[in-house]
Amino acid sequence: MTQEETRVMRETKKQSTDRWLGTASATNEKLRWPLLLGAAALLSGCAYSETNLSSAPSDQTIAATDEDTISASFPFEKKAIQVNGHKIAYVDVGEGPVVLFIHGNPTSSYLWRNVIPYVSDNHRAIAIDLIGMGDSEQADIGYTFGDHAAYVDGFIRELGLEDVTLVVHDWGSVLGMRYARLNEDNVRAIAFMEAVMPPAFPAPSYEAMGPELGEVFRNFRTDGVGEEMVLENNFFVEQMLPSLVIRGLTQEELEAYRAPFMTPDSRRPTLQWPREVPIGGEPAEATAAVLANGEWMTQTDKPKLFVRAEPGTLTPPPVIAYYEANFSNMETRVAGPGLHFFQEDSPHGLGRALSDWLDRLPSEE
């Protein structure tokens, strides 16, 4: 391919992405992400028999109070530990049974800042910054799913965490569920939200994701195009993250999320994550993990808490029904309004749901 042909290809792909994104300032544009991702979830869910789906979800909505304000401040002092030769930063507050929070892309422990206080009164609340994200060290690695899993495993091992309750979101769900699946004796329970798991994922093909969303994921994985979108323009922090928070983000909050990714090279983790999304069987390692996690979730009797928001992003009604029909020993709660990053819209509803559920978990044997 000549340089001119390459330039035209990249420009064409950029234009298609720009058309899809539009402007994020209007409410209807903010809803394009959840509607498109929800459509992908619905399409993926069609592979499951209707006999596995209940007619309607049964859940409890956590009521908001007048005192519920969302603070931008991060009230915790981070600690650090060496894992696999690199610094991993984390929050570690409170005493009692261990609760480990695992974030996804493009966030950090900052995502949980308004949730942790609901847990740390009578639990040891730990929130990791994944390798290359938050205040954790940038490493000379590919930031594949397998890379991240090795650091999560090492983090739990180096801290000597036992009988862990996992609280997971986005790609943190794949990492946490994988750990739980492979280390059942060291996991007490799991709370999950906006998870990358069946029946929404793996996606069978780009086409199954719909023409617009499928094209965006093709662009992420196209050499040169993905780099321009994410490494040069910081797509996930500047466009995706704020577009998936109903109330929007304040300047202070945006600056906190931007801080780890101030240079193109520092944004490599945020580019690799969409390249790890299992589509059409690739990449093989992430696809196998997501499928195995989904199978494990249908088999294990570990206590589970599924927390969702209204309208949410990855949990349209058929997905909710699938969870409730196929996952045993699970409670469902609605934290309140929110999209994918509903920790920024309804952190107090989420915090109260976690606190209530944690307090009712069976005592350690």
Give CA–CA dist 29/347, Å, rounded: 23
Instruction: Retrieve residue 6's tokens.
Output: 């390459």
Residues 364, 90 contacting (CB under 8 angstroms): no
Residue 219, classed as helix, strand or coil, is helix
Q: How many CA within 13 A on the CB side of residue 163?
A: 11
Q: How far apart are CA 268 and CA 276, in angstroms?
A: 12
**Residues carrying an active site annotation:** 170, 194, 340
Read off the tokens for 321.
């029904």
HEC string of 310-350 equals: EECCCCCHHHHHHHHHHCCCEEEEEEEEECCCHHHCCHHHH
Q: Which residues contact 44 (CB under 8 A, 6 or more apart)?
A: 198, 199, 200, 201, 202, 203, 204, 208
CA neighbor of 305 nearest in space, from 189, 227, 203, 207? 189
CA dist., res. 154 & res. 160, Å (int)? 10
Q: How many whole angstroms separate alpha carbon 132 and alpha carbon 135?
A: 8
Residue 74's contacts (CB-CB under 8 Å, 6 or more residues apart) are 110, 113, 256
What is the total residue count of the chain?
365
Structural contact between residues 197 and 188, judged by C-beta atoms closer than 8 angstroms: no
C-alpha 222/C-alpha 224 separation (Å) is 6
Whole-number Å distance between alpha carbons of 37 and 277: 13
In what side-by-side order are the strands of the sheet with 304-311? 60-61, 330-338, 304-311, 187-195, 164-170, 98-102, 124-128, 86-93, 79-83
